[in-house]
Amino acid sequence: MLCGLIRRIHKNMPQLMQKKLVFYFLIILAHWAHAGTLAEGKQGAVASRSALASQVGVAIMQQGGNAIDAAVAVGFALAVTYPSAGNLGGGGFMLIHTPEGVQALDFRETAPASATPNMFLDAQGQVIANSSVTTPLSSGVPGSVAGLLAAWEKYGTLPRAQIMAPAIKLAEQGFNLPADIAEQIAGHYDEFRRYPGSFKSFSHDGKPYKAGELWQQPELAGTLKLIAAKGRDGFYKGITADRLVAEVKRGHGKISHADLESYQVIWRSPIRGHYRGFDIWGMPPPSSGGVLIVQMLNMLEPLNLANPQASRSENIHAMIEAERRAYADRSEHLGDADFYPVPINQLISKTYAKKRFADFNPAKASDSEKIAAGILWSQESHETTHYSVMDKYGNAVAVTTTLNLDYGNKIMVEGAGFLLNNEMDDFAIKPGYANSFGLIGSKANAIAPRKRMLSSMSPTIVTFNGAPMLVTGSPGGSTIITTTLQVLLNVLDYHMSLDKAVAAPRVHHQWQPNKIFYEAGALNEQELLDLKNKHHTGLTLNPVPIGDANSVIKATSGFTAASDPRNLGGAAAF
């Protein structure tokens, strides 16, 4: 069956894409039978993309740390154990629930001060191919180190050196390379060979590291030790900053010492929605995730999705129609709210959702070409990783962090052991031009100095009667939002156990392109026929898994952590 699928998709595909497709299918074959991991405990729990990193988080809580201490330790550990997305050179978002309330921490990358709106266009105004993804020009000013340290400084309880010790040990002493990371490195090896730092880190005796080999990263260990000793000055100043700026300048990038020293995280008010008696907490812009998830839930809330008389295809149809409208709004109205008047309150209001979904036809699909962004009333106003942490003190942390594409732009900072991001591609580098995830932007997300690029990252916390109940989120570019939405629906509407809610096959729609992407097993023959009869077009079996929703839930008996079976992650609890 799978071989037939490969042949069907492989047909008429350019040779380069064929090679990439074969590579991705090898990864799928390696993990297809993986059941994910499930861990239960009464004290605390962690779910992440790396079993080693999850174990680090639990160990920190066993040493007396809280969920925030654990989340920071997991973040630094992922920079060692999951290099395609765990990082020091990228950025992300963090939602933190404490007994005092919910805080949103924005440590998204920023455009360098010398960035210009047309920096990726030629003299004729055309996009310079790959310039926003494969060169140092594609790198934004990294925020991950500042973000992790800011969370620890505000809410942490253990010493910084103790929090960072596990990551330093993993980098210095090494660990046996998992098969999935070895496959990733082999798949990108030709790209890594172009850059001395990358080649040095990812090769052994001139060849890519193999599964099971001891992988040590002494240069990364050195950088982590500087951060442990000096805090943010160990990264944004001194020798690490010198190395980063030198690496960027070698490729005519724009990040300067002043950009690094002036970088600041921002504590923001979280997005808050209400759905069937639960509070839904998400990230505000420059993340689009919080707004879109609440907007889509608002559109779906009047429907009885749990009605046993309704067919599954009817619910999928409704979800797709909500996604179609929300993603159209994203393209027009979402950007960095510090630079553009994003109409957040209107977009997440139930009144607007009712108006936006008024033309929903239960029997027929909408036409994406005719679904523009919603009209607002006047007012005064691919590679990522997610992990979830909860503890017995009422703390919960949702963190999504990224380099943008897997392994960023593939450029390792020589001497420092970490990769550069290619987040500048998340800006609208030209109006109407789709980025690497097929997302279209407008002036709301245009490049500007020190501006934060729009993101789909959607760390999410669900509370009930003020107490945290569920922590979830996902990587996956434009599929992050719909993955997170489906985990929420699976738990809150369909009352699935967490492992089933995370494992359930997924469907994705994002307005443009007008296609429905679905995983194997997500739609049976009758459901496909039902959707076609409703005039849905572009039904496409997705060649790779959708999302990686490592999640934690609180029940009366304690905590349950579930890693997504689509990847070799890990859940841990105690």
- Please state whether 261 falls in left (phi above 0), alpha (psi between -120 and 50) or beta: alpha
Contact 387/49 with Cβ under 8 angstroms? yes
The Cα-based distances of 372 to 82, 195, 434, 507, 512 in angstroms read: 39, 43, 16, 22, 11
Phi, psi at residue 547, to the nearest 5°?
A: 80, 175
Which among 382, 387, 449, 473 has a CA at the least distance from the CA of 422? Answer: 382
Rounded-to-integer distance, Cα 146 and Cα 158, Å: 17
Nearest to 293 by CA among 548, 498, 483, 94: 483
Residue 384 a catalytic site member: yes
CA distance 255 to 244: 8
Could you tell me whether strands 91-98 and 396-404 are parallel, antiparallel, or unpaired per DSSP bridges? Answer: antiparallel
Q: How far apart are CA 310 and CA 207, in angstroms?
A: 55
Sign of the torsion angle spanned by Cα atoms 484, 490, 491, 497: negative
Distance, in Å, from the CA atom of 290 to the CA atom of 285, rounded to the nearest integer, reads 8
**Nearest alpha-carbon partner for 31 in 571, 568, 574, 527:** 568
Element (H, E) at 467: strand 467-472
If you search the block for the tokens 């790959």, which residue do you land on?
130
Three-state SS string over 2-45 comes to HHHHHHHHHCCCCHHHHHHHHHHHHHHHHHCCCCCCEEEECCEE
DSSP code of residue 285: T
Q: How far apart are CA 397 and CA 102, in angstroms?
A: 10
Nearest to 479 by CA among 389, 568, 540, 554: 540
User: How far is Cα 321 from Cα 315, in angstroms, rounded to an integer?
Assistant: 10
Catalytic residue among 37, 135, 240, 384: 384
CB-count burial class (<10 Å; 0-12, 13-18, 19+) for 38: middle
Tell me which residues are annotated as active site: 384
